[in-house]
Amino acid sequence: MVDIDRTIELIKNSKHVPEEDVKEICQKVQEILIEESNVQLIYPPIVVCGDIHGQLHDLLILFEKNGQVPNSKYLFLGDFVDRGFYSVETFLLLISLKLRYPDRIYLVRGNHESRSITMVYGFYDECLRKYGSVNVWRYCCEVFDYLSLGALIYGSNSSGGDGTGNGVFCIHGGLSPYIEYVDQIKHIDRKKEVPHEGAMCDLLWSDPDDVPAWAVSPRGAGYLFGENEVKKFLYSNKLNLIARAHQLVMEGYKELFNGGLVTVWSAPNYCYRCGNVAAVLRIDDYLNRDYGLFDAAIKDVDAIPSKNPAAEYFL
């Protein structure tokens, strides 16, 4: 039986976690995640966080600044892995905390929590490099399939932001032309690899943009949606905010459409080169918003090894 508190300490100190322990943690956390709904209902106060992408040291700063679990309650909006060099530790820390404090930390799935994506963007290679086999990658991918797709944060009835609604819909990507009501998400069979199209894909891939109606996304998956869609969705579902991640925001967060939607990005100096700050969204009992900004832990970019040597020739 793995000592979860000890494992959490190991990870925080960047120490190696044995493969056997990883296996056990992954299996155990699945038992918790399987009980969770596709859209989890959560009560504030809570700290909502965007993409982390394997930047373990920045995640530790995030916890330091906003309170350790279980003192503070957290919702992470996916994209825990890939691109950063500590994806294994980042994901392990998050699921270990989930295992230890299941009602103090919530995890929803991002488009990078996927087998095909992690094979291209680093997590697969990192598992192979650190464990000598892809077993750890495989255990983690199984956990991905159990992650819920979104969350609803409900406020107390007395006050609700602009007064029209009383809740925050939280998702990694955005809206889907298939999903008009939050309840419809409950019908999705989520325990699978992220599909290439359809509602589940859109929720993890779509982006808000200045468009008059639904439009094709330049990303090649999901859609673009505009102010009209956001207004309708908020109204139909009696909400006052959509909180999502998925897009790099140089200033850490960005509110759009008269404050009806916010993008939160929690990976400072993304991939050790983008020069952005990071943010979390703190939501209080009355659904008031407050943003906490933070900077990268690792300042010396040259200390980060280049992932790939330069090409030998270029023609």
Partner 1 sequence: MSQFQKSIFQKKLQKAEQALGFDFSEELEDQEEEQDNSSSPFAKDAPLPTAKNGPLLSQLLKNSQQGAEANTTGLTSSFKYQKREDIKPKEWCEFFEHSKVLEQQETGNKFQIYYSLPNSNSSPIFIFHHGAGSSGLTFAVLGKQIEQYLATESPHPKIKPGILVFDARNHGKTKVAENDYSRNSFVKDFSFILKSYLDELDPLFKDVISKKEADPQLIVPPIMLVGHSLGGSVLTEALHQYNGMKDGYFSKLVELNIIKGLVMFDIVEDTAVESLAHMNKFLNSRPKGFRSLKIAIDWHIKSNFLRKGESPLVSVPALLMPVEDNDPDVDSSLFKYKWRSDLRLTEPFWDTWFTGLSGGFVNAPVQSKLLILAGNDNLDKRLMIGQMQGKFQLIVFLESGHFLHEDLPNKTAISLIDFWKRNFKPNEKKIPILWGHMRN
Residues identified as active-site:
112
CB of 17 to partner 1, least distance (A): 20
In terms of CB distance, is 105 or 117 closer to partner 1?
117
In terms of CB distance, is 70 or 142 closer to partner 1?
142
Q: Which of 181, 183, 194 is nearest to 146 (CA)?
A: 194
- The answer to whether the peptide bond before residue 45 is cis (omega within 30 degrees of 0) is yes
In terms of CB distance, is 163 or 218 closer to partner 1?
218
In terms of CB distance, is 244 or 282 closer to partner 1?
244
Residue 26 half-sphere exposure toward CB, CA atoms < 13 A: 22
The b-or-e profile of 40-62 (16+ CB within 10 A means b, else e) is: bebebebbbbbbbbbbbbbbbbb
CB of 187 to partner 1, least distance (A): 10
Main-chain phi, psi angles of 223, to 5 degrees:
-135, 170
Residue 286 as a binder of partner 1 (CB under 8 A): the answer is no
Distances (CA, A) of 54 to 58, 110, 176, 199, 294: 9, 13, 27, 27, 16
264 close to 281: Cβ distance less than 8 angstroms:
yes
CB of 221 to partner 1, least distance (A): 4
In terms of CB distance, is 46 or 271 closer to partner 1?
271
Among 1, 189, 273, 302, binds partner 1 (CB under 8 A): 273
SS3 call for 133: coil
CB of 83 to partner 1, least distance (A): 8
Q: What are the helix (H) ranges across 52-146?
A: 56-66, 87-100, 115-121, 123-131, 135-144
Cα distance from N-terminal residue to C-terminal residue, the chain: 56
Residue 32 as a binder of partner 1 (CB under 8 A): the answer is no
Residue 20 as a binder of partner 1 (CB under 8 A): the answer is no
Site string for partner 1, 138-157 (x = CB under 8 A): x--x----------------
Residue 16: CB atoms within 10 Å: 12
Within residues 160-219, the interface with partner 1 by CB under 8 A covers 177-178, 180-181, 183-184, 193, 196, 205, 207, 214-219
Q: From CA 165, how far away is CA 153, in angstroms rounded?
A: 12
In terms of CB distance, is 1 or 311 closer to partner 1?
311
Residue 117 as a binder of partner 1 (CB under 8 A): the answer is yes
Of the candidate spans 22-30, 148-156, 161-169, 244-252, the one that interacts with partner 1 by CB under 8 A turns out to be: 244-252
- By rule CB under 8 A, what count of residues binds partner 1? 56
Q: From CA 296, how far away is CA 8, in angstroms rounded?
A: 21
Q: From CA 105, how far away is CA 33, in angstroms rounded?
A: 12
Residues that bind partner 1 (CB under 8 A): 111, 114-117, 119-122, 125, 128-129, 132-134, 138, 141, 177-178, 180-181, 183-184, 193, 196, 205, 207, 214-221, 223, 229, 232, 246-248, 250, 270-271, 273-276, 307-308, 310-315
